[in-house]
Amino acid sequence: MKTRRWLYPAALIGAAAALAASARAELPKPGALAKPAPETQAGFPRALYRATGADGYDAPDKVALGEKLFFDGRLSADGTVSCATCHDPDKGFTDHRATSQGIKSQKGQRNAPTVLNALYNDSQFWDGRAAHLEDQAKLPILNPIEMGQKTPADVVAALEKIPEYPPAFQKAFGHPVNYDDLGRAIAAYERTQTATSSRFDRFLAGDEGQLNPQEKRGWALFNGKGRCMSCHAFNPTQPTFSDNKFHNIGVSAHKQNFPDLAKKALKLVDSGNAEAVDRAAIETDLSELGRFLVTTQPKDIGTFKTPGLRNLFVTQPYFHDGSQATVWDVIDHYNKGGVQNPFLDGGITRLGLTEPEIDDLVVFLAALSSDRYEAASKKELARQRTVSRTTRPQRDTAAALGKTALSAGLKGPFGDVAPNADLKDPSRIGGR
């Protein structure tokens, strides 16, 4: 019996170790797509990049250290999760999950934003709770359901025991391992993950043949009837097709009671405490409040940052909660005017796009894929096109064309949108 009493826990420990080793073996590896993208790529906004003044291409030792840390599962409490788990280069630096999964298979409330071109964001995360990439890099490591470390000191102590890290930190920063420099190293690596060099960039540079007739029609819709440029305008200071602002687009409203959530958040969350906001955003139903968790301003209830549009077909699914499976679903959502809620952004209104116009817009967006992801993008576009022909949960053509109110929207002669243009006297709607 003594032998069995000692062997039983040993067997359990061995099984646990095997499981942990198996989990570590499944961590993403730094392949070709993990390497810094070339500064010579088409469309690379070199002047804007230099204006950031932050570590990146010009700090190779920091970048190399950051890449090693980014893929190292030992940064997590149980060795099973790395930064690359949720930001896998082979998946467009996302994880292709609706919401991300951390240690012990725990699931959060938010979709993993891509690291690609993140250096151009004015703030980080869907709600902008981190001002810089350095801050963004450190928070997930300490979140209980992401990487699960207790304190920065625990992380530093773990890294100090790994032979290659102390000299690497000394070489990159000139002093021993510390938590702030960990964030700086990961941020330096992330700043080299730029992804322009698309057919659209070459089209803008003067090569008309880079876009086919359907894609050019989509580009016209993007700037016109589709109204995409209202939040996704492209210019030299906004190279990712994002205004870097926060909007309530009617995604989460149908799930939650915003006023009740806001009252609850004001009691429970200290908006000045980054870690407290991080936990509320990732772990609780308060996540749906979006930017409000950071500012506590009523105008920010249910608002989330405008994502960039480059490389959409390797960063699916979409929106802050990963609720939309295809780009067709995303456009259907906007086409019908979103879903009503008292805090809906004033710019959200029905678009009236026809089915051929939606197709044109989708294929234009695919032309924003960088060369590095072109093959994967084409494959995903084909898959989504097939899905769109049979499964369109967000499509409401009647509402999009102003013929009926949305079933979940406001009631009345014009539903959730402006009156039909063919009404003789729209000013008298509701009058006598």
The DSSP code sequence of 143-188 is: -TTTT--S-HHHHHHHHHTSTTHHHHHHHHHSS---HHHHHHHHHH
pTM metric for this prediction? 0.87
Contact (Cβ atoms closer than 8 angstroms) between residue 292 and residue 70: no
Residue scoring higher pLDDT (66 or 13): 66
Residues in CB range of 259: below 8 A, 6 or more apart: none
| Beta carbons within 10 angstroms of residue 97's beta carbon | 15
How far apart CA 255 and CA 273 sit, in angstroms, is 26
Q: Which of 67, 134, 146, 380 is catalytic?
A: 146
Q: pLDDT, tens digit, for every residue of 16-42?
A: 444 444 444 489 999 999 999 999 999
The verdict on whether omega for the bond into residue 317 sits within 30 degrees of 0, i.e. cis, is yes
The continuous run of DSSP H or E covering 137 comes out as helix 133-142
How far apart CA 272 and CA 253 sit, in angstroms, is 25
Pick one of 3.30.365.10, 3.30.70.1520, 1.10.760.10, 2.40.30.10 as the CATH number of 199-253+302-400.
1.10.760.10
Average pLDDT over residues 384-399: 94
Q: Is 380 helix (H, G, I), strand (E, B) or coil?
A: helix
**pLDDT at res. 62:** 98
Least confident of 46-60, 169-183, 251-265: 251-265
Intra-chain end-to-end CA distance of the chain, in Å: 92
* Residue 10 pLDDT > 70: no
Q: Is 52 helix (H, G, I), strand (E, B) or coil?
A: helix
**Of 218, 250, 246, whose CA–CA distance to 231 is shortest?**
246
Question: Residue ranges of the domains in the chain?
Answer: 27-33+42-190, 199-253+302-400
**pLDDT at res. 26:** 85
**Of 267, 292, 272, 297, whose CA–CA distance to 281 is shortest?**
292
190 as an active site residue: the answer is: no
Residue scoring higher pLDDT (376 or 414): 376
How far apart CA 24 and CA 26 sit, in angstroms, is 5
Domain 199-253+302-400 in the same topology as domain 27-33+42-190: yes
CATH architecture classification, 27-33+42-190: Orthogonal Bundle (1.10)
Compute φ and ψ for 398, nearest 5 degrees: -60, -45
| Beta carbons within 10 angstroms of residue 28's beta carbon | 20
**Widest CA span of the chain, in angstroms?**
93
